[in-house]
């Protein structure tokens, strides 16, 4: 009897082992494509993607080549503001004529802030990140830089941006502007920009802003009445066209061409990356989607 039971047990154990082996083999077959997935071809001159959880590289194309970054620079602008000690997001900033003159002179993207209006820091951050307002960027640099003149405050703020880049250990990033309208020395790389964005995404306020598709600010006019601004629309088309997108920022310019720093979460995994110098708005989004798909496939 004992021998019989042992025999049954042995047969059962063997059957379980065989079944497990079959499952393992099947598992290996289904997992193989995730490992063997072909790296995509992108039009952008530079690209980088990493696993946001551990910063492991998933894809790189000229990932450490310095390039003009356009308005993706504003990710660092927002990061520096949000890192200020005792930050009051409801503090009001009065819009100066200098901010308006600046965007007109540079034919820059703007939040269409009205001179004399009082706008909160939180609203300025939405105006910075959604419509990519260079007027909002100027207002924030003026508010959070230190010095007795506007020029000194702006210089101080850009200094904080470069200090933040150094603190992240970035060797290929330098800012000479608060908004990406550089003076010949405003550059980063796909890898560095991705790291800046990943760091910025640690802020709950930043995460909320960059995944917002549309935002309507109510500002206070010179006379104390309330002005309802036209809605600010997020320039990041992936928020509407790629499932799981959570940010982060577009950029463009004559030198920068078309740039996009992007992030998406699927099945609890977050992939974050950058494309620099793509050929059009549509193409930078196509490039980004290819890299996101590839990143998720690699993570399995």
pLDDT band at 34 (very low <50, low <70, confident <90, very high): very low
- Whole-structure pTM value: 0.88
pLDDT band at 37 (very low <50, low <70, confident <90, very high): confident
Half-sphere exposure of 169 (CA within 13 A, CB side): 3
pLDDT digits (tens, 9 = 90+) for 226-259: 999 999 999 999 999 999 999 999 999 999 999 9
List of residues 6+ apart from 163 with CB closer than 8 A: none
Taking alpha carbons only, the member of 41, 83, 82 closest to residue 61 is: 41
Using the 8-state DSSP alphabet, how is residue 59 labeled? E
List of residues 6+ apart from 264 with CB closer than 8 A: 238, 242, 243, 244, 245, 246, 270, 271, 292, 296
List of residues 6+ apart from 81 with CB closer than 8 A: 87, 121, 125, 140, 144
- pLDDT of 61 higher than 90: yes
Q: Active-site residues: which are they?
A: 71, 74, 132
pLDDT band at 16 (very low <50, low <70, confident <90, very high): very low
- pLDDT of 28 higher than 90: no
Q: Concatenated DSSP letters for 85-119?
A: TT--TT-EEEPPHHHHHHHHHHT-----PPTT-EE
pLDDT digits (tens, 9 = 90+) for 155-185: 999 999 999 999 999 999 999 999 999 888 9
Q: How many other CB atoms are there within 10 angstroms of residue 202's CB atom?
A: 10
């Amino acid at each position: 009897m004992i021998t019989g039971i042992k025999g049954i047990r042995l047969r059962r154990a063997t059957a379980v082992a065989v079944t497990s082996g079959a499952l393992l083999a099947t598992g290996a077959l289904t997992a193989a494509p995730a490992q063997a997935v072909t790296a995509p071809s992108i039009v952008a001159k530079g690209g980088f993607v990493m696993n946001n959880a551990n910063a492991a590289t998933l894809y790189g194309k000229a990932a450490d080549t310095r390039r003009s970054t356009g308005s993706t620079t504003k990710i660092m602008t927002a990061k520096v503001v949000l890192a200020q000690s005792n930050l009051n997001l409801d503090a009001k900033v009065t819009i100066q004529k200098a901010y308006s003159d600046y965007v007109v002179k540079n034919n820059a993207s703007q939040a269409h802030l009205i001179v004399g209006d009082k706008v909160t820091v939180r609203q300025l951050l939405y105006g910075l990140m959604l419509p990519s307002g260079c007027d909002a960027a100027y207002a924030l640099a003026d508010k959070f830089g230190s010095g007795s003149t506007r020029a000194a405050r702006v210089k101080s703020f850009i200094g904080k941006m470069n200090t933040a880049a150094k603190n992240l250990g970035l060797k290929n990033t330098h800012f000479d502007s608060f908004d990406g309208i550089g003076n010949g020395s405003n550059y980063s790389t796909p890898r560095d920009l991705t790291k800046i964005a990943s760091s910025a995404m640690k802020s709950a306020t930043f995460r909320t802003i960059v995944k917002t598709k549309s935002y309507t600010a109510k500002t206070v006019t010179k006379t104390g009445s309330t002005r309802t601004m036209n809605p600010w629309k997020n320039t990041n088309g992936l928020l509407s066209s790629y499932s799981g997108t959570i940010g982060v920022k577009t950029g463009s310019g004559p030198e920068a061409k078309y740039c996009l720093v992007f992030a998406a979460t699927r099945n609890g995994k977050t992939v974050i990356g950058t494309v620099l110098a793509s050929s059009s708005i549509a193409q930078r989004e196509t490039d980004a989607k290819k890299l996101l798909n590839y990143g998720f496939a690699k993570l399995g």
